[in-house]
Amino acid sequence: MSTAEETGGDAQPWGEVTPDAARRLLVAAVEAFAERGYHATTTRDIAGRAGMSPAALYIHYKTKEELLHRISRIGHEKALEILRTAGRREGCAADRLADAVGSFVRWHAGGRTTARVVQYELDSLGPDARAEILALRRQVDAEVRAIIEEGVAAGEFEVLDVHGTTLAVLSLCIDVARWFNVDGPYTPEEVGALYADLVLRMVGAKPAGPAQERSGAAHR
Amino acid sequence: MSTAEETGGDAQPWGEVTPDAARRLLVAAVEAFAERGYHATTTRDIAGRAGMSPAALYIHYKTKEELLHRISRIGHEKALEILRTAGRREGCAADRLADAVGSFVRWHAGGRTTARVVQYELDSLGPDARAEILALRRQVDAEVRAIIEEGVAAGEFEVLDVHGTTLAVLSLCIDVARWFNVDGPYTPEEVGALYADLVLRMVGAKPAGPAQERSGAAHR
DNA sequence: GTTGAAGCTGAGCGGGCGCTTAGTGGACGG
DNA sequence: CCGTCCACTAAGCGCCCGCTCAGCTTCAAC
């Protein structure tokens, strides 16, 4: 799982962004976009948060949109990696689905700032960038659907509509980025556990499986 | 657009907006906000869609924000009314929850244009308007939680965390406005039925209740 | 010590924004 | 047939946007 670098609730997919000034601008843009939305954010605001003059932005990025594009791609790649890691684990479909949902939700809750931009500012991208990101989304969808399909094939799950259920599971996880509040009553871990349980119910996972004691959902 | 009918999901709420020109402007604003987002929409665009000059907007509304405020309040009141109607029905908690989720989702899918603005442009409101809308949201939340609590109390549902489950159920329904596509494979009715089934699973509704034959979920 | 590249700034351009204002035209009471 | 009203328009104001560019500093290479 993620190490103790969760400073400020955001995992850091930005560690690999170089040079240093470009990364500071990217992080500033993530914060600004998450707070106010892409269109309401000014390049002056982004540069200011990064402690630079407005013109400095254009040394590292061609346009404001390129910032969003880069954030979106890195974020989607990270999300996809999280789901792939869970999907490739050993174990029954129920365990893998619970793991996938749990870690996906923890990422959306803990890195809400990033996730919000990644999941909700897609429409602000131009057609080309948008198409590229949508391709990544289709891979995300495929990853979750594969687990559900395997569960159904193995007789572990009871699902009427695999496509629709996949959509609903992903929708549930993604929307965490909209409502989750760091100062609210839940920790990212609690939401992850709760959602893993809810999703297992949605797919009709047989409660009397080989591994009965699943990751405990918090009583409340 | 407004092709006469438009499933009835979208058209209705604005019928009571009184001066005809004010209603046309409001409908134009809903469409523009849904397509591009509040901040990316210009007053010139709204007025143009309504077939008027930019200045005409300010005869009926003080600011661009007042348009969003009015749209948001009317939309939230409509959503609340839908849930209250379902919640006050006779029948067991499972039937009422299925009805509430079904109609709520049908509204979000059929009136996606409106719902998108209502559910996702909240942050663009100023503090006062925002607070007013948040009060309506709390009532929406209370309505769903009440049904779930009754189901738990009656032994119909098996829920570990009522608060969290309520949050998840609402989140699931609301997010329909984000992904639903009129040209996609599902009709609003199908999504409503699918989601009603999924939510009953989430709350652990006993399948062998007194009214076994629930509204049929679409096979696919 | 000079040079050139790289990173950054201060000033500012063209343009589109939300919103205002003076004036128009059509409906209507007298 | 006039006068009043008022929804609406044409024109435009002041502002701030995304973005540019000449010039400054720094620093490694020679």
The series of mean pLDDT values per 10 residues for chain B, 220 residues long, is 42 76 95 96 97 95 96 96 94 96 97 96 95 97 97 96 98 97 95 98 78 46
Quickly count helices (H) and strands (E) in chain B.
10, 0
Residues 6+ apart with CB under 8 A from B158: B152, B203, B204, B206
Residue A116 pLDDT: 96
- Best residue in B118, B149, B160 for a mutation probing chain A (most A CBs within 10 Å): B160
Measured CA to CA, the distance from residue A99 to residue A183 in angstroms comes to 25
A186: nearest CB among B160, B164, B178? B164
Q: Spell out which residues of chain B touch residue A164, defining contact as CB-CB under 8 Å.
A: 186, 190-191, 194, 220
Please measure the distance between the N-terminal and C-terminal CA atoms of chain B and give it in whole angstroms. 31
Residue B2 pLDDT: 41
A201: nearest CB among B176, B201, B217? B201
Residue B214 pLDDT: 46
Residue A17 main-chain phi, psi, to 5 deg: -80, 120
**Structure token digits, residue A166:** 């996949």
Kindly state whether B186 is in contact with chain A, defined as any CB-CB distance less than 8 angstroms: yes
**Structure token digits, residue B86:** 């379902």
Residue B60 contacts strand D, CB under 7 A: yes
Measure in Å the smallest separation between the Cα of B84 and chain A Cα atoms.
23
Residue A206 pLDDT: 84
Residue A215 pLDDT: 46
For chain A (220 residues), the mean pLDDT of every run of 10, in chain order, is 42 78 95 96 97 96 97 96 94 96 97 95 95 97 97 96 98 97 95 98 78 46
Residue A210 pLDDT: 45
Residue A11 pLDDT: 55
Domains (ranges, CATH) in chain A?
Answer: 13-61 (1.10.10.60), 64-212 (1.10.357.10)
Kindly state whether B159 is in contact with chain A, defined as any CB-CB distance less than 8 angstroms: no
